[in-house]
Amino acid sequence: MPSSNLQSRPFPYLTGATSGIGLALARQLLLLKASPVILAVRNVSKGESVRRDFLADPAVRSANPDAVVQVMELDTEKYDSIKSFARAFREEYQDVHIVMLNAGVPGLRRHVAPTGHEATIQVNYLSNVLLTLEFLPLLESTAQKTGLPGRVTWTGSRAIVNTSLATKSPIKPGESILQHLDAEDNFFGLSRYADSKLLAFLFLRELPRHYGPEKVIVNAFCPGMVNTAMSDVLPQPFRLLADAVKAVRARTPEKAGWIGVSAVAVAGAETHGKLLGDTEAWE
């Protein structure tokens, strides 16, 4: 992948960048000479530790000796935090070329976010929608200056095949889908992650009907099974099984990260509103 793809779009920010796929993505962007790279994190102390590690990394120092990495606070369970982050970003930066929305939670245990919504739906879906909308104007203005479309890439999942809104208990008259999913009686931990990714997929599918790719391309990628710590929250019997399967089938976060870089730096306007399974559009 030519590094000029990112040198010409040097203002990316990432959510979920302190572990797993997001950590690998951030490092790979730095290796491709992106700078500054903004890490939007809930745990600022952990984010600063990651920043120091990046700047001390011999490979990063060789490829990108003048790299700038900044840590900014963002709690995707809270709308106020999202809006404060977007406002602080706009005050400091006049441009943004790349937005990578990778923050996610597995959703096995029910937890209500401060917004009042079930946390898996909040973090994996609703907050990513708000972040996308918050940054579209800045992405558009940057695209107008550079002549290059801005990019928003979500981390998606083909696990959506494991769920269907049609197979759940009926939605009551006058009840919205979100109200239905927020209800405690309708929470099923093993399918909630897939529920949240299905909503994200449907949002992306609908987006091209209202917003074209001329100024900003919005897509998602699924790198398949990845050996991250997300399965650590599973009950022990399930965790042991998941670890065994991952040992045989899962990609490393580094390999998954390169698939994400391809989605944000190589894939073109034809991927607008689409989920990429590895590097091909998935329907």
Which active-site residues does the annotation give? 193, 197
CA–CA separation, 22 and 43 (whole Å): 14
Strand, coil or helix: what is 169? Answer: coil
221: alpha, beta or left, given left = phi > 0 and alpha = psi -120 to 50? Answer: beta
β pairing state of 69-73 and 37-41: parallel
Whether 43 contacts 55, CB under 8 Å: no
Whether 193 contacts 259, CB under 8 Å: no
CA–CA separation, 50 and 119 (whole Å): 25
Q: What is the DSSP letter of 122?
A: I
Strand, coil or helix: what is 149? Answer: coil
Identity of the amino acid at 17: A
CA–CA separation, 283 and 277 (whole Å): 9
Q: Which long-range contacts (CB under 8 A, 24 or more apart) does 202-207 make?
A: 203/125, 203/129, 204/154, 204/156, 204/273, 204/274, 204/275, 205/273, 205/274, 206/273, 207/272, 207/273
β pairing state of 12-15 and 216-222: unpaired
Contacts of 274 (CB under 8 A, 6+ apart): 204, 205, 219, 220, 281, 282
